[in-house]
Amino acid sequence: MPITSTSPGNHITNAVEYKGESLRFPFVFISPVSYNEDVTMKVIAIVGMTGAGKSEVAKLFAENGFSKIRFGDVTDKEIKKRGLELNEANERRIRELLRKEQGMAAYAKLNLPMIDSALKMSDVVIDGLYSWEEYVFLKGHYGESFAVVAVWASPKTRYTRLTSRQLRGLTKEDAASRDKAEIENINKGGPIAMADFTILNEHFLDDLEKEVTKVISWLRE
């Protein structure tokens, strides 16, 4: 089914007030059942807990010809627009505001036009699919052309990585808090449990690259 809306370009701007704050986001009206049988390219979503190595895996997919779309860019753009510091607290606040306004599949809906546009040229890899509702939405839209790759690392390994990150680094306490919030509040466990492939990322980058190469080969068979 096609995307429909009440205004040109399939978007209107809608405002939401949350905890005394007001945000305006493009509101996308999309049929919940919109499987496109004409899709021949693949859409691959990379899922996993914070610090597991999702962005590194997405980067490797991009190096193998996939167009990369990072769902979190929506959050970053809003933070910059509001002149806020890019940190965990502000990222969480914006994510909550956006999902309060458009539901738990908000990021999938807002990024759908970019995914569809990229599919005209190549396969697509998504960095940042979080919620079960996002998974259900994209699976319903792309059907068998949609697959999920989970990246797994233990909490100990992930927290060690996160505390040493220069960009988007977290303390151990912040990382544990984010894990709890993502599992309890945004249903992050569902897509990880339903992944078509799972990559273990506990050790070295060379090992990760080998596993990603195998998965890409399987996906292209």
Distance of CA 98 to the CA centre of its chain: 14
Look-up of token digits 């190469």: 213
Domain count within the chain: 1
**Residue 98: per-residue pLDDT:** 87
Range of the domain at 170: 16-219
How far apart (Å, rounded) are the C-alpha atoms in residues 79 and 74?
A: 9
Read off the pLDDT of residues 95-122 as tens digits, 9 standing for 90 and up: 888 888 889 999 999 999 999 999 999 9
**CATH number of the domain enclosing 104:** 3.40.50.300
Within-domain flag for 4? no
Give CA separation, 111 vs 26, 73, 105, 138, in Å: 11, 10, 10, 10
Q: Is the pLDDT of residue 167 over 70?
A: yes
Report the predicted TM-score, pTM, of the whole model to 2 decimal places: 0.78
